[in-house]
Amino acid sequence: PVLSAEEAKRLGVELVSFDELLTRADLISIHTPLVPSTKYLFNDAAFAKMKKNALLMNAARGGIVEEAALVRALESKKIRGAALDVFEKEPLAADHPLLKLDNVVLAPHLGASTDEAQERVGVQIAHQIVAYLKHGTIENGVNVPSLSGDAAQKLAPHLEVARRLGRLLAQLAGGAREIRVTAYGELA
C-alpha cells in the first residue's frame, strides 16, 4: 500500500492484504488507477474469495474489474451486487450482459465533468502544489507515496540517491519494463 503504517494509524484504519480485504469486506469501493498491476484486479479468483453478501463499487477506472467475471459473480450470486460508472469500453453496448442484471447499478461515467467539480479539483491541486513547494509534503501522488513535510525532510537524502540510481539504471538497462524496490528498516 502507498499509505504508511503511521498514516494509517493516524487515520484509524487497519492495513490488510488484498486477499484479507476480499474475505472480510462487506463493501469494497475501488479507488485506484488502472496500471498493469491493477488490470483485472477483480476477476473470478477475487470474486470467489469475497463474502456472498459483499457489494462492489467501481467509480475509478474501467478495466480494474473484469466485466465478464463480474457478470458471472452476479449471476451466480457469489456477491450480492455491484455499482459501476466506469467500464472497459465506454459507453456500454446496448446488449452488454451487465444491463440485463437486477443486482447491479450502472451510471454513465461522469467523473469530474461538472464546472464545479473542475473548479474544486483545480483549487485542490493548487493547494497541493503549494504544500509541496513550501513543506515538501506530497499528497495524492500517482507514482509516489503521500508524505508529510516531516517525512519528506527525513527521506530527502534517500530519495535523491534513489533518483540518481534510477537515472543510472535507465542508462544501463535502456528500457526496463518493470523495476521493483523493496525497502526495509526504520525508513521503510
Q: Say if residue 157 is preceded by a cis peptide, omega within 30 of 0.
A: no
Active site residue 31: no
Q: pTM for the complete prediction?
A: 0.61
Q: Which of 90, 158, 160, 163 is catalytic?
A: 90
Active site residue 164: no
Per-residue pLDDT tens digits of the chain, which is 188 residues long: 577 888 888 888 999 999 999 999 999 999 898 999 999 999 999 999 999 999 999 989 999 999 999 999 999 999 999 999 999 998 889 999 999 999 999 987 766 566 777 778 788 888 888 887 787 777 777 666 666 777 767 777 777 787 788 788 777 777 666 767 676 676 65
Q: Which of 72, 96, 109, 135 is catalytic?
A: 109
Active site residue 127: no
Q: What domains sit in the chain, N to C, each tagged with a CATH number?
A: 5-106 (3.40.50.720), 115-173 (no CATH)
Q: Are 106 and 120 in contact (CB under 8 A)?
A: no
